[in-house]
Structure 1
């Protein structure tokens, strides 16, 4: 973690950040609502691969997110450089294959929040195939109830234009990042981390907040899984 704390500001403010700001000219609204300390979950819609890099760029605090295990285990100099890059931008390696994949992802995410950090996730679980907003998975609710983290809904607009499906390298273009009102879900509200119905209700509330920020058409079904 010490190395990550040193690399992260270098990537954000010196290497990656200035280039991305010049390319995407992000318009940001509602950022003052992101708590300055304590555990925070940033729950955002997911339109393009670049979303995971755009969101940390506009948040003052260090932001962590999950990255595929394969990003960190490729051999050779190029593989080590790729792993260093992803660690430097806040990615946490998680092996998402096998029966314990979901629990491993939940535990890795919770560890960040239990240290009082900021964790970004996409409740849809994968990129939208058509620009619509799909049903959220309940991990966001279970994380919030398990850790007491504040949930901040986030609407990202325009990344599907700068990086449409099939395009590996995003092109320059204006994007927007809209932060919504912070949401608190605790035991005091009468909800339980062990109840599937309550986790579903919380997740649907978060997705409704995201939809209000983006104006996307909502699909009450899970998005089809993609490779990346």
Structure 2
């Protein structure tokens, strides 16, 4: 019940008035019944704007810390994230992926909409990265359709590393539902899982217009950090050499 208060009475109208998000293809999302919404991930604001364009609740997994922090802050966090359609998952342990899968299967088993970001983390440069196969395994184990989804402009509203950027009208696009029932019983075949995931990512790329990089986002982020650190080191060495040259 608090979710609907949050969405329609408090946060929803404010976001609609300020940002006026646009939606395309919402008819692809069923009025009832389970479905997986597989989306690109540009900003922490994605999970606010995407569900806002639908009349149904969309559930995502969130860090367990949001639900276990003690004190008044912890209670407010739990109220907010629970009301906004989040369910907890501990991503720190070896079984985090399995825990996320179980949480998702419970939501889908109850006929809900489950939102997932196949890239696994936000894109640091606006490009679309290789999807992880958990979304394919989830689709095969539950037998529900996957609806490719693209959010555009949220990285302008809330760029990586910043709480707020600038005003724009985010766009949410829903593609045609993808049915993978032809692969039923093959959820342990890694080649099938990769093929399904790549098909989903292709549809997301088509909807979002992003450049695709066949590399995991987490790997790309680490490479970018190392390259930035190396550039700073070289710059520092060059400045030191220039100072030494002037001193001599």
- TM-score calculated relative to the size of structure 2: 0.85
Question: 2:201 is matched with which residue?
Answer: 207
Query: 3-state SS of the aligned residue for 2:105?
Result: helix
- Listed as ranges, the matches of 1:78-117 within 5 Å are 78-117=73-112
1:111-156 CA-partner distances (Å, limit 9, x unpaired): 1011111000110000001000000001111111011111100110
Alignment pair present for 1:77 and 2:67: no
Residue 126 of structure 2 contacts residue 210 of structure 2 at CA under 8 Å; is this kept in 1?
yes
Q: How many residues align?
A: 220
1:179-220 CA-partner distances (Å, limit 9, x unpaired): 10111111x446611111101100000000000001100000
Which stretches in structure 2 are left out of the alignment for 5+ residues?
A: 222-248
Question: 1:224 is matched with which residue?
Answer: 218
- TM-score calculated relative to the size of structure 1: 0.93
* Cα distance in 1 for residues equivalent to 2:208 and 2:191: 26
Following TM superposition, by how much is the alpha carbon of 1:170 offset from its aligned partner in structure 2, in angstroms?
Answer: 5.7
* Cα distance in 1 for residues equivalent to 2:193 and 2:125: 26
Question: 2:29 is matched with which residue?
Answer: 34
Query: 3-state SS of the aligned residue for 2:106?
Result: helix
Query: 3-state SS of the aligned residue for 2:218?
Result: coil
Query: 3-state SS of the aligned residue for 1:42?
Result: strand
- Listed as ranges, the matches of 1:47-86 within 5 Å are 47-86=42-81
* Cα distance in 2 for residues equivalent to 1:215 and 1:8: 32
Superposition misfits of 4+ residues, deviation over 4 angstroms: none
Residue 140 of structure 2 contacts residue 183 of structure 2 at CA under 8 Å; is this kept in 1?
no
* Cα distance in 1 for residues equivalent to 2:164 and 2:210: 24
Alignment pair present for 1:173 and 2:168: yes
Question: 1:195 is matched with which residue?
Answer: 189
* Cα distance in 1 for residues equivalent to 2:211 and 2:198: 14
* Cα distance in 1 for residues equivalent to 2:118 and 2:63: 16
**Bigger share in helix:** 2
Query: 3-state SS of the aligned residue for 2:217?
Result: coil
Following TM superposition, by how much is the alpha carbon of 1:165 offset from its aligned partner in structure 2, in angstroms?
Answer: 1.6
Residue 185 of structure 1 contacts residue 191 of structure 1 at CA under 8 Å; is this kept in 2?
no
* Cα distance in 2 for residues equivalent to 1:207 and 1:126: 14
Residue 48 of structure 1 contacts residue 159 of structure 1 at CA under 8 Å; is this kept in 2?
yes
Aligned with residue 16 of structure 2, among 11, 21, 33: 21
Following TM superposition, by how much is the alpha carbon of 1:173 offset from its aligned partner in structure 2, in angstroms?
Answer: 2.2
Question: Considering only aligned residues, what root-mean-square deviation do their CA atoms show, in Å?
Answer: 1.4
Aligned with residue 133 of structure 1, among 128, 131, 137: 128
